[in-house]
Homo-oligomer: A and B are copies of this chain.
Amino acid sequence: MPKLDESLLSGLPPFAGLDRAEIREILDQAASRRFEEGATVFREGHDADRFFLLLDGYLRVVRSTPGGDQVIVLHISPGQLFGIAPALQRDTYPATAIAAAESIALSWPVRLWSDFADAYPGFATETYKTLGERIGQVQQTLTEMATQAVEKRVAAAVLRMVNQSGRKADGGIEIAFPVTRQNIADMTGTTLHTVSRLLSGWEKAGMVESTRKHITVTDPHRLVVLAGGAD
């Protein structure tokens, strides 16, 4: 395996304030791996034997029902820790992580987690902070799902992706990873048909532009209003 560069980690919150030697030490214990779009990083119910840091790309975190339907619980962006079930004393992963785009992740065996936490005070703190944000996000999604009509939920889901991964494009902000209508349906508990109709409508109204697997929001403000005005 090629030597990894220290600058990969030095800017990230969990490792903030560590010196080069410490980061070197951490990196030397990491495995780096590339995942194709659609590849599975870990699977619900499997032994949680490693924890991860996403360096590049985007992941979907998915839960499936016994009936075979799947729900996208949240997305992971570069720089975030994930698969940190072990920090919560779980011994299996509670969900499946799938690469939404080509991605690169570092991983460590779980036993190192407590070593890191002991040795570098900020590490545990940051992990738990991430977790806190994530639980808040899931609860937020839950309340939306329980109270809002489909159009609001879809608008909110699109905005969430834009906020998390948006990058400037010609005449708008573009979601940085491939998304199908089916994906959005899986985030919002609806069908790809309904999502398609909604997007078509918004496109006609000049709020978004979309091609195959790609969405650009051209009028974020109107979409925010649609999502419930709470801006």
Cβ of A40 within 8 Å of any chain B Cβ, yes or no, is no
Interface size class of A (residues with CB under 8 A): 35 or more
In the bound complex, how far is the Cα of B67 from the Cα of A71, in angstroms? 25
Q: Does A141 contact B (CB under 8 A)?
A: yes
Return the chain B residue nearest A136 by Cβ: B94
Given A90-B132, A135-B138, A138-B135, CB of A143 within 8 Å of CB of B63:
yes
Give the docked Cα–Cα distance between A229 and B65 (Å): 12
Would you call A129 an interface residue if the criterion is a C-beta within 8 Å of the partner chain's C-beta atoms? yes
Asked if B71 and A146 sit within 8 Å, CB to CB, the answer is: yes
> Could you say how many copies of this chain the assembly holds?
2
Contact B88 A135 (CB under 8 A): yes
B-facing residues in A110-150 (Cβ within 8 Å): 125, 128-129, 131-132, 134-136, 138-148
Chain A contact residues: over half helix, strand or loop, or mixed? helix
Q: Are A189 and B147 interface neighbours, CB within 8 A?
A: yes
Is the CB of A101 closer than 8 A to any CB of chain B? no
Give the contacting residue for A138; candidates B142, B148, B188, B230; CB below 8 A. Answer: B142
Residue-wise, chain A 163-192 has the 8 Å CB interface mask toward B (1 for contact) of 000000000000000000000001011000
Q: Which chain B residues lie closer than 8 Å to A144 at the CB level?
A: 65
The answer to whether A71 touches B147, judged by C-beta atoms less than 8 angstroms apart, is yes
User: In the bound complex, how far is the Cα of B125 from the Cα of A145, in angstroms?
Assistant: 32
Contacts of A25 in B (CB 8 A): none
Interface residues in A45-70 by Cβ distance below 8 A to B read: 63-67, 69
User: A207 within 8 Å of B by Cβ?
Assistant: no
Contact A139 B65 (CB under 8 A): no
Asked whether B128 lies within 8 Å of A71 as measured between CB atoms, the reply is no
Q: Which 3 A-B pairs have the closest CB atoms?
A: A88-B132, A146-B189, A89-B129
10 extra A-B contacts, CB within 8 A, seeds A65-B144, A89-B128, A89-B132: A63-B140, A66-B230, A69-B147, A73-B139, A73-B142, A73-B143, A88-B132, A89-B125, A90-B132, A90-B136
